[in-house]
Amino acid sequence: MSSAHRFDRGHTDDMMSFLAASPSPYHAVANAAARLEKAGFRQVSETESWTAPAGADGTDETAGGRYVLRGGAIIAWYVPRGATPATPYRIIGAHTDSPNLRVKPLPDTGAHGWRQVAVEVYGGALLNTWLDRDLGLSGRITLRDGTSRLVAVDRPLLRVPQLAVHLDRSVHTEGLKLDKQRHMTPIWGLGDVHEGDLISFVADEAGVPAADITGWDLMTHSVEPPAYLGRDREFVAGPRMDNLLSVHAGTAALAAVAGAAEAGGDLPYIPVLAAFDHEENGSQADTGADGPLLGNVLERSVFARGGGYEDKARSFAGTVCLSSDTGHAVHPNYAERHEPGHHPLPNAGPILKVNVNQRYATDGGGRALFAAACERAGVPWQSFVSNNSMPCGTTIGPITAARHGITTVDIGAAILSMHSARELCGADDPHLLAAALSAFLEG
């Protein structure tokens, strides 16, 4: 493995910065794009032609790094010199969204002298982790002229206060019971409720007239920054690791592999990063893995290189996707919930996810491919399978395999507190994952 593909704790430091700077999917893809731009990639528009003639010196003008942005999704790829229309892809799949509280269309609400913000629970959030936590507001606003802007209020603005124990003595005997509609509405001020208050506030933060904002996709986020944790700083605690940890690692791996190819390295595949939105609620969106975005981009890339349907079919037949999403580390306080023979630990390398009922897409061939990539990278790896008595979660892996007919393998980093407002991983796992992904993309 070349030195360009060796990652260390510096990668983990950068991941923490990426998490802090990416409070929403829209910020995450903007930050990934900025990193790829520094690596020589350039954005292309879906509404423009991608077919370009050969340059005056005979060079292939379709070669190099490209990316497409759509909402909270990014598809990026690098076409090496000499690639044919039938050259297969090596894809890293991930998702940009995380469970949280999202602002409703009519956000201004309140009661009994409190001003509040109406929110809807997005994805399978652990509701109790959003209580008594300082929250900011982030996302995008859409203006009257159709353009969008990112907005991030990254300071304590909102709070979902928990009921005092004196007013709920049963909490110690019956546990905390939360109603999503009645108990999860954040406070943000005192006084009378006025329609338009929140959007006027957001307009001031964005520096635009409130009358110009005609649409918004806003959400809450914890403003507490990521931090190292543990006696020897062997863990990282932070928000949105599910699944920005994989988005960041995939971005770093793609940039490293493209850089090595630009320097003259041999690359038999076309490496791709596909980071989708809306995985946490089923992927059925134009920016989700169950939508046409990835297939359209890959197909257009084939056609841009002069290929046709036959070339696309040959390319897809040789394509492999690593669906990289966080998985469960064994929980020391709930070990009985895990499969007895499979106890992944932090800092022991990425995990290979297996489920014979196709909640994960891995098969024996995929296992061998992933093992080979980890061996080339000098990275340890682990296996994960769910306890037979517990329902198994799922990922974009089976969706990608079924929709596009491409070999897909489910992997990820082992974490605790999945779907919490603040999750935990091993401090070495981000850079171990990035190294394994780089080796996979190299082929």
Does one domain contain both 160 and 185? yes
User: Would 234 be classed as within a structural domain?
Assistant: no
pLDDT value at 53 more than 60: no
Question: What letter does residue 328 receive in the DSSP assignment?
Answer: E
Does one domain contain both 129 and 89? no
Chain position carrying tokens 């010196």 = 57
Q: Tell me the CATH number at 199.
A: 2.30.250.10
Give residue 116's domain range.
Answer: 100-224
Phi/psi at 287 (nearest 5 deg)?
-105, 10
Rounded distance between C-alpha atoms, residue 286 and residue 73, angstroms: 9
Does one domain contain both 205 and 162? yes
Does one domain contain both 193 and 276? no
Q: How many residues does the chain have?
A: 443
- Residue 176 is encoded by which pair of tokens? 């905390």
pLDDT given for residue 4 in this prediction? 43
Does one domain contain both 202 and 342? no
- Report the chain's C-alpha Rg in angstroms: 23
Strands ordered across the beta sheet of 213-222: 148-158, 135-143, 213-222, 100-111, 114-122, 187-190
Rounded distance between C-alpha atoms, residue 258 and residue 433, angstroms: 17
Percent of the chain, pLDDT > 90? 94
Phi/psi at 29 (nearest 5 deg)?
-70, -30
Helix or strand holding residue 209 (H, E): none
User: Would 246 be classed as within a structural domain?
Assistant: yes
Does one domain contain both 20 and 131? no
What mean pLDDT do residues 410-420 have? Answer: 98
Does one domain contain both 249 and 206? no
Is residue 44 within 8 A of residue 300, CB to CB? The reply is no
Question: pLDDT tens across 20-39, in order?
Answer: 999 999 999 999 999 999 99
pLDDT value at 155 more than 50: yes
Does one domain contain both 268 and 150? no
Does one domain contain both 123 and 74? no
Does one domain contain both 259 and 357? yes
Q: Tell me the CATH number at 255.
A: 3.40.630.10
Question: What letter does residue 159 receive in the DSSP assignment?
Answer: B
Percent of the chain, pLDDT > 70? 97
Does one domain contain both 177 and 248? no
pLDDT given for residue 59 in this prediction? 46
Question: pLDDT tens across 307-353, in order?
Answer: 999 999 999 999 999 999 999 999 999 999 999 999 999 999 999 99
Question: pLDDT tens across 198-256, in order?
Answer: 999 999 999 999 999 999 999 999 999 999 999 999 999 999 999 999 999 999 999 99
User: Would 231 be classed as within a structural domain?
Assistant: no
Does one domain contain both 380 and 272? yes
Rounded distance between C-alpha atoms, residue 210 and residue 214, angstroms: 9
